[in-house]
Amino acid sequence: MTTPQTRVGLRALCFPPSLSALGLAGIFSGAAAFDPAAVHPFTRSGVLRMNTGILYAALAYVAWGLFPLYFKQVADVPSLEVVMHRTLWSLVVVLGLLALRRQWAWMASVVRQPRVLGAFALSAVLLSGNWLTYVWAVQNHHVVDASLGYFILPLVNVALGFVFLRERPRPGQWLAVAVAAAGVLWLAVQAGRLPWIALVLALTFGFYGLLRKVAVLGALEGLTLETLMLAPVAAVVLAWWSWQGQGALVQGDLSTVGWLLLAGPMTAVPLLLFAAGARRIPMSTLGILQYISPSLQFALGVWVYNEAFQPARLVGFVLIWAALVVYSVEGWWARQRAVLA
């Protein structure tokens, strides 16, 4: 069952009033409502709790940032098949976790709420589309483009909040959005096309977060419901391919099959680390830590996988990074003024 604290946490995480949305992790954080009373900065227990929270959240973002290393291990498996395996084995893991915690009561409530089921059906489609685009990008040497998507995601969420939630961004936030838009436009002009991978990733994840703001469930419960909706399709297609003598389960070696089975814990463990961290630290800290993921992805793309990165493209990235600096500083300044008021 969801609680008022859960709803407040999800609302703050999806579209916080003065901070960026929390990138890849924010959509999963419904069960991670931050308790400010539990993190008093002037007590030993508060400092310990804060440091532990930072460690958990940082580990989650590092894991997400290193995802390209994992998906490169299954580069010979079609991206659609990888996503189906990720869906199926993620469901196995989250059902196992729910069984250990005996956390089933929420299902009876959810099945009686068509609006919640409908919202999660749509969010499941968006999530699978995001996963498919990301896996395809990594497998086809577009890790840098994928990182761009998660750099601009916080600013996309500002625009979504304005359009759909009637939020009123402050002038500094609008400035950040405008500078980021200039960066995207520059990249489009240089490439002769829109950076579609980045835009698809940012928009699918942004709308996913928007839906999770309306259809409130905790982190584990939400992922369970989404994978429950997607898993039957994945299971049938994988079974059909195997019956036809196709697919990694039949044609792949033990190493490939093992990597595919790891997709379950690879999805669930960072999620749970993030949820544990978000309960212990404020949104402002998460807003800074979120940039670990795209930064690591960018570094992997440029320096590990040697993806082409022309100097002209750097101008667009610098504009987007400048927008993020403006956005973060403006959010910090707004919070300071609110504290002093």
Query: How much is the CA Rg of the chain, to the nearest whole Å?
Result: 20
Alpha-carbon distances, residue 238 vs 77, 90, 249 (angstroms): 12, 15, 8
Residue with tokens 């008093």: 40
> Residue 207: CB partners within 8 Å, gap ≥ 6?
126, 160
pLDDT of residue 336: 81
> Band of the pLDDT at 43, cuts 50, 70, 90?
low
Predicted pLDDT at 12: 36
Q: How confident is the model at residue 225 (pLDDT cuts 50, 70, 90)?
A: very high
Per-residue pLDDT at 25 exceeds 80: no
- Number of domains making up the chain: 1
- CB-CB contact of 181 with 189 (8 Å): no
> Does residue 7 surpass a pLDDT of 80?
no
91 pLDDT higher than 90: yes
Mean pLDDT for the stretch of residues 305-312: 89
Percent of the chain with pLDDT over 70: 85
Give the highest mean pLDDT range of 69-83, 272-286, 301-315: 69-83
Helices assigned H by DSSP within 140-262 = 143-164, 171-191, 196-214, 219-243, 248-251, 254-261
The identity of residue 107, as a single letter, is: M
Give the whole-number percent of the chain exceeding pLDDT 90.
52
User: For residue 302, what pLDDT is reported?
Assistant: 93
Mapping DSSP to helix (H, G, I), strand (E, B) and coil, where does residue 291 land? coil
Q: Tokens 């942004």 sit at which residue?
A: 206
| The predicted structure's pLDDT at residue 38 | 44
Of the candidate ranges 7-11, 139-143, 271-275, 284-288, the one whose mean pLDDT is the lowest: 7-11
pLDDT at 22 over 70: no
Domain limits at 227? 4-340
- Chain CA centroid to CA 33, Å: 17
Q: Which of 13, 17, 7, 16 is nearest to 27 (CA)?
A: 13
Give the pLDDT band (50/70/90) at residue 46: low
The predicted model gives 6-16 an average pLDDT of: 36
The four Cα atoms 105, 106, 109, 112 give a dihedral, to 10 degrees, of -120
The separation between CA 227 and the C-alpha centre of its own chain, rounded to angstroms, equals 15
Q: What is the pLDDT of residue 309?
A: 87
User: In this predicted structure, what is the pLDDT of residue 45?
Assistant: 67
Stretch 17-34: mean pLDDT = 37
Task: Name residue, tokens 């950076």.
Answer: 195
Average pLDDT, whole number, for the chain? 83
Q: Which of 204, 214, 206 is nearest to 158 (CA)?
A: 206
- The predicted model gives 31-40 an average pLDDT of 44
* Nearest residue to 284 (alpha-carbon basis) of 338, 336, 331: 331
Which of 200-214, 237-251, 259-273 comes out lowest in average pLDDT?
A: 200-214
Most confident among 36-40, 46-50, 107-111, 238-242 (mean pLDDT)? 238-242
Which regions of 18-141 does DSSP assign to beta strands (E)? none
Instruction: Judge whether 215 and 11 are in contact, CB under 8 Å.
Output: no
H helix intervals, 75-113: 79-101, 105-110
Q: Which residue has the tokens 């579209």?
A: 15
| Amino acid 47: pLDDT | 65
pLDDT at 306: 94
Q: For residue 290, what pLDDT band results from cuts at 50, 70 and 90?
A: confident
| Short-list 223, 258, 249, 230, CA closest to 106 | 223
d(Cα 84, Cα 88) in Å, to the nearest integer? Answer: 6
